[in-house]
Amino acid sequence: MNTNPVHFTLNGKPVKISIEPWTTLLDYLRYHKKLVGTKKGCDHGQCGACTVLVDGNSVNSCLCLLVSLDGKDITTIEGIGTADNLSVEQQIFIEEDAYQCGFCTPGQICSTIAMRNRGEINSEEELKDWMSGNLCRCAAYKNLTKAARRIYKES
Protein backbone atom coordinates (compact mmCIF):
# COMPACT_ATOMS: atom_id res chain seq x y z
CA MET A 1 0.00 0.00 0.00
CA ASN A 2 1.22 3.49 -0.84
CA THR A 3 2.21 5.45 2.28
CA ASN A 4 4.01 8.69 3.00
CA PRO A 5 6.14 9.62 6.02
CA VAL A 6 5.00 12.46 8.26
CA HIS A 7 6.04 13.68 11.66
CA PHE A 8 4.27 16.09 13.98
CA THR A 9 3.46 16.75 17.62
CA LEU A 10 0.14 15.47 18.93
CA ASN A 11 -0.99 16.73 22.33
CA GLY A 12 2.60 17.44 23.27
CA LYS A 13 4.07 14.13 22.13
CA PRO A 14 6.19 13.67 18.99
CA VAL A 15 4.76 11.29 16.38
CA LYS A 16 6.54 9.83 13.37
CA ILE A 17 4.52 7.58 11.07
CA SER A 18 3.99 6.55 7.49
CA ILE A 19 0.38 6.73 6.35
CA GLU A 20 -1.83 6.59 3.27
CA PRO A 21 -1.83 10.07 1.72
CA TRP A 22 -5.64 10.25 1.63
CA THR A 23 -6.01 9.87 5.42
CA THR A 24 -7.60 12.96 6.93
CA LEU A 25 -6.51 14.34 10.27
CA LEU A 26 -9.99 13.58 11.60
CA ASP A 27 -9.88 9.90 10.63
CA TYR A 28 -6.37 9.57 11.97
CA LEU A 29 -7.40 11.02 15.33
CA ARG A 30 -10.57 8.98 15.70
CA TYR A 31 -9.69 5.65 14.08
CA HIS A 32 -5.93 5.38 14.51
CA LYS A 33 -5.45 7.17 17.83
CA LYS A 34 -8.93 6.65 19.37
CA LEU A 35 -9.07 10.34 20.25
CA VAL A 36 -12.83 10.43 19.85
CA GLY A 37 -13.31 13.78 21.56
CA THR A 38 -12.93 15.23 18.07
CA LYS A 39 -16.32 14.60 16.46
CA LYS A 40 -17.26 13.65 12.92
CA GLY A 41 -20.40 15.55 11.98
CA CYS A 42 -20.70 16.36 8.30
CA ASP A 43 -17.20 15.24 7.20
CA HIS A 44 -17.39 18.04 4.61
CA GLY A 45 -16.26 21.24 6.32
CA GLN A 46 -19.77 22.42 7.15
CA CYS A 47 -20.36 21.90 10.88
CA GLY A 48 -17.13 22.55 12.81
CA ALA A 49 -17.58 19.52 15.07
CA CYS A 50 -14.15 18.26 13.99
CA THR A 51 -12.29 21.47 14.89
CA VAL A 52 -8.83 21.01 16.43
CA LEU A 53 -5.83 23.29 16.89
CA VAL A 54 -2.89 23.22 14.47
CA ASP A 55 -0.11 25.56 15.56
CA GLY A 56 -2.73 27.33 17.68
CA ASN A 57 -5.12 27.96 14.79
CA SER A 58 -8.52 26.31 14.39
CA VAL A 59 -8.70 23.74 11.61
CA ASN A 60 -11.52 21.56 10.31
CA SER A 61 -9.73 18.23 10.67
CA CYS A 62 -12.09 16.55 8.17
CA LEU A 63 -10.69 18.78 5.42
CA CYS A 64 -7.04 18.36 6.32
CA LEU A 65 -4.85 15.55 5.01
CA LEU A 66 -2.49 14.29 7.68
CA VAL A 67 0.48 14.19 5.29
CA SER A 68 0.14 17.97 4.85
CA LEU A 69 0.89 18.53 8.55
CA ASP A 70 4.56 17.66 8.59
CA GLY A 71 6.27 19.55 11.42
CA LYS A 72 3.01 20.90 12.84
CA ASP A 73 1.79 21.03 16.43
CA ILE A 74 -1.67 19.41 16.73
CA THR A 75 -3.84 19.75 19.83
CA THR A 76 -7.17 18.00 20.36
CA ILE A 77 -9.61 18.43 23.21
CA GLU A 78 -7.82 15.59 25.01
CA GLY A 79 -4.68 17.73 25.01
CA ILE A 80 -6.51 20.76 26.36
CA GLY A 81 -7.83 19.18 29.53
CA THR A 82 -9.17 16.00 31.08
CA ALA A 83 -12.11 15.15 33.32
CA ASP A 84 -9.73 15.14 36.30
CA ASN A 85 -7.88 18.24 35.24
CA LEU A 86 -10.15 20.62 33.37
CA SER A 87 -8.65 23.53 31.50
CA VAL A 88 -9.77 27.08 32.23
CA GLU A 89 -11.76 27.03 29.00
CA GLN A 90 -13.57 23.82 29.86
CA GLN A 91 -14.35 25.17 33.32
CA ILE A 92 -15.87 28.29 31.80
CA PHE A 93 -18.06 26.19 29.50
CA ILE A 94 -19.39 24.37 32.56
CA GLU A 95 -19.93 27.56 34.56
CA GLU A 96 -21.83 29.15 31.68
CA ASP A 97 -23.85 25.98 30.97
CA ALA A 98 -22.67 26.31 27.37
CA TYR A 99 -23.66 22.87 26.11
CA GLN A 100 -26.55 20.46 26.00
CA CYS A 101 -25.73 17.13 24.31
CA GLY A 102 -22.05 18.09 24.12
CA PHE A 103 -21.44 16.86 20.58
CA CYS A 104 -20.23 20.23 19.32
CA THR A 105 -18.43 21.20 22.55
CA PRO A 106 -14.86 20.02 21.78
CA GLY A 107 -14.91 21.91 18.49
CA GLN A 108 -16.46 24.97 20.12
CA ILE A 109 -13.73 25.04 22.78
CA CYS A 110 -10.97 24.65 20.19
CA SER A 111 -12.44 27.51 18.17
CA THR A 112 -12.65 29.80 21.20
CA ILE A 113 -9.02 29.07 22.07
CA ALA A 114 -7.98 29.85 18.48
CA MET A 115 -10.00 33.06 18.65
CA ARG A 116 -8.19 34.09 21.82
CA ASN A 117 -4.84 33.12 20.30
CA ARG A 118 -5.55 35.32 17.28
CA GLY A 119 -6.63 38.23 19.51
CA GLU A 120 -8.35 40.34 16.88
CA ILE A 121 -11.93 40.42 18.12
CA ASN A 122 -13.23 43.96 18.60
CA SER A 123 -16.99 43.54 18.82
CA GLU A 124 -19.78 41.13 19.67
CA GLU A 125 -20.48 40.77 15.95
CA GLU A 126 -16.88 39.76 15.26
CA LEU A 127 -17.03 37.22 18.09
CA LYS A 128 -20.24 35.70 16.69
CA ASP A 129 -18.77 35.77 13.21
CA TRP A 130 -15.68 33.89 14.40
CA MET A 131 -17.82 31.24 16.09
CA SER A 132 -20.22 30.91 13.17
CA GLY A 133 -18.23 27.99 11.73
CA ASN A 134 -19.22 25.84 14.69
CA LEU A 135 -22.82 24.70 14.48
CA CYS A 136 -24.77 23.51 17.51
CA ARG A 137 -27.69 21.26 16.72
CA CYS A 138 -29.02 21.86 20.25
CA ALA A 139 -29.02 25.61 19.54
CA ALA A 140 -27.17 26.45 22.76
CA TYR A 141 -25.86 29.59 21.12
CA LYS A 142 -26.80 32.06 23.85
CA ASN A 143 -24.63 30.42 26.49
CA LEU A 144 -22.00 29.38 23.97
CA THR A 145 -21.53 33.02 23.12
CA LYS A 146 -21.28 33.93 26.81
CA ALA A 147 -18.61 31.28 27.34
CA ALA A 148 -16.67 32.33 24.24
CA ARG A 149 -16.78 35.96 25.39
CA ARG A 150 -15.45 35.03 28.82
CA ILE A 151 -12.67 32.88 27.38
CA TYR A 152 -11.63 35.69 25.08
CA LYS A 153 -11.60 38.28 27.85
CA GLU A 154 -10.56 36.34 30.95
CA SER A 155 -8.29 33.46 30.05
Q: Which residues of the chain form contacts with ligand FES (CB under 6 A)?
A: 40-43, 45-50, 60, 62, 99-104, 136-138, 140
CB of 56 to ligand FES, least distance (A): 19
Question: Measured from the CB atom, is 1 or 139 closer to ligand FES?
Answer: 139
CB 75 within 8 A of CB 9: no
CB of 39 to ligand FES, least distance (A): 7
CB of 141 to ligand FES, least distance (A): 9
Question: Measured from the CB atom, is 103 or 152 closer to ligand FES?
Answer: 103
Nearest alpha carbon to residue 26 among 43, 4, 8, 13? 43
Strand order in the sheet with 13-19: 13-19, 4-10, 73-75, 51-54, 57-60
Question: Measured from the CB atom, is 10 or 62 closer to ligand FES?
Answer: 62
CB of 26 to ligand FES, least distance (A): 6
Question: Measured from the CB atom, is 36 or 123 closer to ligand FES?
Answer: 36
- φ, ψ dihedrals at 6, nearest 5°: -155, 140
User: How many CA atoms, within 13 angstroms, populate the side-chain half-sphere of residue 117?
Assistant: 13
3-state secondary structure of 57: strand
